[in-house]
Amino acid sequence: MPSLARNTHPTNRPHLTLASVDEFPPGAQARLAALVDAALPLPVRLDRITVLDGSAPLVWLVRPSPALTALHAAVWDALAGADGLLPWHAPGRWIPHLSLALRFRDADRRRARAVAAADRPTGAFVAARSYDGADRTVTALGRAVPDT
């Protein structure tokens, strides 16, 4: 089955995007670090596997707990006024998910759903980071990003 796990670049680890900006407003990184230090580890329960927007990517939905929803809103407050905030991550439009594959066939989708149908895994988000797409670097925000 196609999988993003095949991309072994260190910046390609499973993640949940809360917001995306072109550049942090002044002081935003410090505010974000304080927010995530207070919120993490954040318990999470995965939900069903689906396709966003009916075409791609194949994703595993994350159940938006009250704590996750509150963190998401606080992150958006900290980034208020930033250039390039992507509207599909905005509170009220955001669909929390973990991307599984960008290219797949219907048989792959059925197989992934069958694997996930029996269980709704739980875990915790334990770190936060910022990813700079221009230079492909990761910066830890608050709690350290694990090496594994």
For the segment 47-103, what is each residue's pLDDT rounded down to a tens digit?
A: 887 777 756 677 889 999 999 999 999 999 999 989 889 888 999 999 999 887 766
39 in Cβ contact with 67 (< 8 Å): yes
Q: How does residue 147 score in pLDDT terms, banded at 50, 70 and 90?
A: low
Judged by DSSP in three states, 44 sits in strand
pLDDT of residue 9: 65
Q: How does residue 120 score in pLDDT terms, banded at 50, 70 and 90?
A: confident
CA gap 140, 33 in Å, rounded = 9
Q: Which residues are within 8 A (CB) of 112 and not within 5 positions of it... i.e. 6 or more apart?
A: 1, 49, 58, 100, 101, 104
Q: Where are the domains of the chain?
A: 22-128
H or E segment to which residue 122 belongs: strand 122-125
pLDDT in tens, 12-43: 677 889 999 998 999 998 999 999 999 999 99
